[in-house]
Amino acid sequence: MARWVNGNLYVQTTEVFGILPIPDPVQAFSGILKYDEQIKPQQYAYLASKQATRFAVLGVHTSDEKTLFSRFMLTEPVFMKEGGPDWPTAVRKWNEASNGRNIFYKVFVRFIV
């Protein structure tokens, strides 16, 4: 046990590694509801709890999401704007349809370099 360091003797960190919570401003901007311990999602419950969102935030991956995306691209004005979709508004529209079973939350984050 020589050179062994007991990490419990130090102040515990509040850092998060791995799955990060979605920041409150991003949730508000994207129309995402906060995680509620009383309302557990049916799919990806652990991921949603770590992201601090009602439903998990995932890329388009289910067949229902692919169908919804195609329908939105053909029928929703916010997706059909000249020059491309208005993504911030489109994400909010998408998140209104999210149900945590086959349609999941999406986020729009603008990276400024």
Q: Would you list the domain boundaries of the chain?
A: 18-97
Q: Burial, 59: exposed, middle or buried (Cβ in 10 Å; 0-12, 13-18, 19+)?
A: exposed
Which stretch of DSSP H or E encloses residue 25?
A: helix 24-30
Using pLDDT thresholds of 50, 70 and 90, give the confidence band for residue 15.
Answer: confident
Is 80 exceeded by the pLDDT of residue 16? no
Which stretch of DSSP H or E encloses residue 30?
A: helix 24-30
- Predicted local distance difference test score (pLDDT) of residue 92: 96
**Between these two residues, 19 and 17, which has the higher pLDDT value?**
19
Is 90 exceeded by the pLDDT of residue 113? no
- Predicted local distance difference test score (pLDDT) of residue 74: 94
Q: Give the tens place of pLDDT for each residue, 40-82.
A: 778 899 999 999 999 999 999 999 999 999 999 999 999 999 9
- Predicted local distance difference test score (pLDDT) of residue 6: 87
In whole angstroms, what is the distance from residue 73 CA to residue 92 CA?
14
